[in-house]
Amino acid sequence: MIISIVNQKGGTAKTTTAINISSGLVKQDKKVLLLGMDLQGDISYALNITNQEKSISEVLMGEVLIQDIILQREGIDVIPTNISLADVELSIGKVENNSYLLKTYLSVINKNYDYVIIDCSPSLSLLTLNALCASDQIIIPLQLTVMGVNGLELMLSTVEKVKKILNPSLKIMGILPVIVDKRKNLSKEIMNYLIEMFSIRIFKNSIRANVKAAEAPSFGISVLEYAPNSTSAIDYKNLVKEIINS
């Protein structure tokens, strides 16, 4: 199953979620590929992968084979990103069927994995479109603030368009509340609003705000490794069980 972690809004814990879901799935004995499709190379930074390594950029440009650039971190197979993805976007702009490039490359290795997790850029760019076309499901991490929810409609209408035109089998697995401050009434109000407005599943296991989640990337490891007993590690482990059972 290929799952994209997507939200065009910046800083909604997409990268944190992609890494920690992957780590949690591996701990449940699943075979996992984590693929970075974000322009800043955050997966690489957060998993201590140097920028010299070949990345998905060179695969999309047809310069290397996808199976030749897979690295291992914490039992996860990782395909890193680097900043040259921005150039890729320009150079594949005129290629025919350019929304399906990633799908085509992933089809070579997809069968080796129980889950492929794709970390997306905070934009609805051609690269994100490639991720949506390659995916079976998406997870939308969302902050339960007024600012966080603004833009959700645009995200959902983009997904509807992709379903209609490019990838009819794409499904929204759910909205994942992240960096949640459970003491705040506003979070509860917004959660109720989401449930009323959109008939989309909201994961039962939301991810609480916790400093350990923010600290882990500077140590180059997941929060499940860095602070296994922290609330964010526990939340991600519970979320992984919910994903496996869904």
Ligand X SMILES: Nc1ncnc2c1ncn2[C@@H]1O[C@H](COP(=O)(O)OP(=O)(O)OP(=O)(O)O)[C@@H](O)[C@H]1O
Residue 29, sorted as left (phi over 0), alpha (psi -120 to 50) or beta, turns out to be left
Asked if 106 is part of the footprint of ligand X (rule: CB under 6 A), the reply reads no
Q: Which does 11 bind (CB under 5 to 8 A by kind): ligand X, Mg ion, none?
A: ligand X
Amino acid at 238: N
CA-based torsion, 129, 111, 36, 9: positive or negative: positive
Which of 128/167 has CB closer to ligand X?
A: 128
Beta bridge partners of 7: none
Query: Is residue 18 within 8 Å of 43, Cβ to Cβ?
Result: yes
Which of 84/210 has CB closer to ligand X?
A: 210
x/- letters, 187..226, toward ligand X (CB under 6 A): --------------------x-xx--xx------------
Which of 28/40 has CB closer to ligand X?
A: 40
Asked if 235 is part of the footprint of Mg ion (rule: CB under 5 A), the reply reads no
x/- letters, 31..60, toward Mg ion (CB under 5 A): -------x---x------------------
Find the shortest distance in angstroms from Cβ 38 to Mg ion. Answer: 5
Q: At what angle do helices 126-134 and 152-165 cross, to 10 degrees?
A: 60
Query: Is residue 91 within 8 Å of 124, Cβ to Cβ?
Result: no
DSSP type of residue 157: H
Cα Dmax for the chain:
52
CA-based torsion, 27, 28, 34, 38: positive or negative: negative
Which of 62/83 has CB closer to ligand X?
A: 83
Asked if 16 is part of the footprint of ligand X (rule: CB under 6 A), the reply reads yes
* Residues in contact with ligand X by the rule CB under 6 A: 10-16, 38, 42, 122, 178-179, 207, 209-210, 213-214, 232
